[in-house]
Structure 1
Amino acid sequence: MNRNRIVIIAVAALLVVGAGFWVFNSVLGDTQPASGPMTAIPVAAQPTSVPDPTAEPMPVTPAATDQPTMAPVAPTEAPTAPSAETPPNEVIRYQIVADESTVSFRIAEDLRGQRIEAVGTTNQVAGEIAVNPSDLSTAQIGVIRVNARTFTTDSSNRDRAIRNFILNTDQYEFITFTPTGIEGLSGSGALGQPFTFTIRGDLTIRDITRPVVFEASVRAESAERLVGVATTTVKRSDYNLQIPSVPFVANVSDDVVLTIDFVALAVTQ
């Protein structure tokens, strides 16, 4: 074997080893943990319903005209419910409780020749809802944030591939949904009655934002507690989410089903 051939073989071997290290680090290497607990971005809600003209006017003090402020709540801390009854025409703010909520994605793939549905879940979600029970048409939903670093499936290798290669969570930690409109809500609310409606908004995954529509259903278990679910289907290709070439995985679907199952509790103003 001549010297040139030996050099070529050595260079090829180094390239193979280097490629192996690149594949490991970019697909199966360690990833950054969540930077901290999730906090809700306060929704800029104002009472929008028309006061009862027959009601006796209430005195207004300078403090009463100020915009109420609210500190974000860590996911393990349930917001404190109001102790008194909520008067008609008053907006109630609710915050999603991470410990009782789940965000999931579902996507079909061939794994070792078998068609399966890969499911990833996390409870690291935060957001606010503002509702006037006397006029549901004025309901508002704030920005919903999900920590993409915390998604887990039934495979640790898949989890690392999702965080490292598909979602690039070291650089893009959060997935955000910014609502732009609610359709199908009207009238007044009633405890125990489910309400179905649609939520339009902008979904940002990594550095790409696309308009999506969630189909939602929400029910008030009490004046202080809302439970609901919202679902949409997005195209993986719309967000340029590439699947790494790994053994045993093929034919990954372009459709991804996103679901938010949430509990939201009223907070003091």
Structure 2
Amino acid sequence: MAAIFKNKTRRTLFIGAAVLALVGLGIGLYAFDTFIGFSDDIDENPPVAPTLEAAAQGRQVVYRIDATQSEVRYNIDEVFLDDNTLASPVGRTQGIAGDVLIDFENPQASQVGTVVINIEQFASDSGLRDRAIRRNWLESSTYPEATFVPREILDFPAEPVPGEPFTFRMVGDLTVKTTTAEETWEVEVTLAEDESTLTGQARTAILLSTYDVGPIEQTIPPLRTEDELRLEFDFVALRVEPGALEASAEADPAATAEAET
């Protein structure tokens, strides 16, 4: 009887150990896949945005965002639950496209075109964080781009002065994944004295819960974030000379057709 009991005990211990090993292996593979490997296949090409076109008459000028000199940043507060440590990571992307049209004869008719941001390219100081955000919350392999479509420009100056900064607000529709919501950006812009470039910064704050991407909570490592995400957009936009769009269409008709849709 004692021998039978010992055999059953050994068998139970063996089965328990095997189950724990399988569970541990599953957790380990999940953690590895989510936070360490397997590497993401990220499209590093700049996005394409719909283009604006200046009227043939008057003094309208189109400025196109130069992605190499521009950057969108996010900043969010997070708490590591194991030691109650606070952090405010910053993620950056230069995957940006969009146009601005300044009407020098009628500044109130100036426009900001659709701004497209490649959110799959966001990179912070932690590759683990970036992969987790891409896979579990932004799902950016499926939804790689966010778009902002301005609907109203408020407080645009009656007469922008080259070399002097001016401010205005943009109200429009921000789309992340499958959700679109109204957001307002505070914008400060400086027009170069020779009118060749626009430089500026736009700021806003959004709620992750609005777009079903947070607040973020995870167990490896144990942390949670606030719901509010702060966004900053530093940009340089270069003057588009008349005929530039036609020239680019001849060079790459497919890209131009995509931009105009």
SS at match of 1:37: coil
Equivalent residue in structure 1 for 2:40, among 31, 37, 48: 31
Taking the aligned partners of 1:38 and 1:236, their CA distance within structure 2 comes to 23
Change (3 A) 1:185 1:210: same
Deviation at 1:46, TM superposition (A): 5.4
Change (3 A) 1:251 1:4: closer
SS at match of 1:168: coil
Match of 1:174 in 2: 145
Taking the aligned partners of 2:46 and 2:25, their CA distance within structure 1 comes to 39
Deviation at 1:166, TM superposition (A): 2.1
Computed over aligned residues only, the root mean square deviation of the Cα atoms, in angstroms, reads 2.2
1:70-219 mapped onto 2 (5 Å cutoff): 89-111=58-80, 112-219=83-190
Deviation at 1:219, TM superposition (A): 1.1
Deviation at 1:248, TM superposition (A): 4.8
Give CA deviations for 1:196-217 in whole Å, capped at 9, x if unaligned. Answer: 1110111111222111000111
Taking the aligned partners of 1:251 and 1:163, their CA distance within structure 2 comes to 16
Match of 1:226 in 2: 198
Change (3 A) 1:156 1:26: closer
Taking the aligned partners of 2:107 and 2:131, their CA distance within structure 1 comes to 42
Give CA deviations for 1:83-125 in whole Å, capped at 9, x if unaligned. Answer: xxxx8x3211110011111100000112453322111111111
1:53-72 mapped onto 2 (5 Å cutoff): none
SS at match of 2:187: strand
Match of 1:70 in 2: none
Change (3 A) 1:109 1:103: same
| Structure 2: tracts of 5 or more residues without a match | 1-8, 243-261
Structure possessing the higher radius of gyration over alpha carbons: 2
Give CA deviations for 1:136-161 in whole Å, capped at 9, x if unaligned. Answer: 11111111111112111111211221
Taking the aligned partners of 2:175 and 2:35, their CA distance within structure 1 comes to 22
Instruction: Report the AA paired with residue 24 of structure 1.
Output: F
Deviation at 1:247, TM superposition (A): 4.2
Size of the aligned set, in residue pairs, is: 229
Deviation at 1:41, TM superposition (A): 2.0
- Name whichever of 256-265 and 238-247 sits farther off: 238-247
Which structure has the higher relative contact order (CA within 8 Å, separation 6+)? 1
Taking the aligned partners of 2:222 and 2:168, their CA distance within structure 1 comes to 37
| Structure 1: tracts of 5 or more residues without a match | 48-63, 65-86
Contact 1:27-1:164 within 8 A present in 2 as well: no
Instruction: Report the AA paired with residue 195 of structure 2.
Output: A
TM-score w.r.t. length of structure 1: 0.77
Match of 1:50 in 2: none
- Name whichever of 108-117 and 192-201 sits farther off: 108-117
Taking the aligned partners of 2:13 and 2:84, their CA distance within structure 1 comes to 40
Deviation at 1:188, TM superposition (A): 2.4
Contact 2:186-2:202 within 8 A present in 1 as well: yes
Instruction: Report the AA paired with residue 116 of structure 1.
Output: A
Give CA deviations for 1:227-246 in whole Å, capped at 9, x if unaligned. Answer: 11111000111112132514
Structure number with the higher helix fraction is 2
Deviation at 1:4, TM superposition (A): 5.6
Deviation at 1:7, TM superposition (A): 3.7
TM-score w.r.t. length of structure 2: 0.79
Instruction: Report the AA paired with residue 91 of structure 1.
Output: Q
Contact 1:195-1:219 within 8 A present in 2 as well: yes
Match of 2:259 in 1: none
